[in-house]
Amino acid sequence: MLAVLEYIEETLSPIVVHSLELIGILIIIYGSIKALTIFFKDGMNLSNSLVKITLGEALSLSLEFKLGAEIIKTVIVRDLNELIILGFVVVLRIVLTLLIHWEVKQAVLTGDLERSGNSIQKMETSYNGVKESDKETTNE
């Protein structure tokens, strides 16, 4: 049984870590391309909040995968210095994730977005918990 655990630690852990990091990188690339597409379709409008939200959500999701990889790395840490550095990296990524999530949520809640498009309505629903159409039916 101990041999199996050592095999997992030495062989599978690095593979899983690199896979999670690669997924995070791919999400950043996809989100960047999607945000750039929105940016150029809108005539390079610098005040378009949808670009910021699209990229912010991609970065936040990417950081979640990268954080998962960092947590798995704690299994293969060899000494205290590596653990301290890894701890700082984990804390930094958690703070970045929270800041990006907060910024995206604020942009949606303050109504900086145009109210057109399903993706915006889905974002509002996920942050507010209630759709605009549901609010209208409850007000009648």
20 pLDDT band, cuts 50/70/90, is very high
pTM exceeds 0.85, yes or no: no
User: How many whole angstroms separate alpha carbon 127 and alpha carbon 124?
Assistant: 5
* Residue 107 included in any domain: yes
* Residue 66 included in any domain: yes
pLDDT tens figures, 122-134: 544 544 454 444 4
How many structural domains are present in the chain? 1
Residue ranges making up the domain that contains 113: 2-134
* Residue 139 included in any domain: no
User: How many whole angstroms separate alpha carbon 86 and alpha carbon 70?
Assistant: 7
Angle between helices 80-109 and 49-73 (to 10 degrees): 160
103, two tokens:
């910024």
* Residue 74 included in any domain: yes
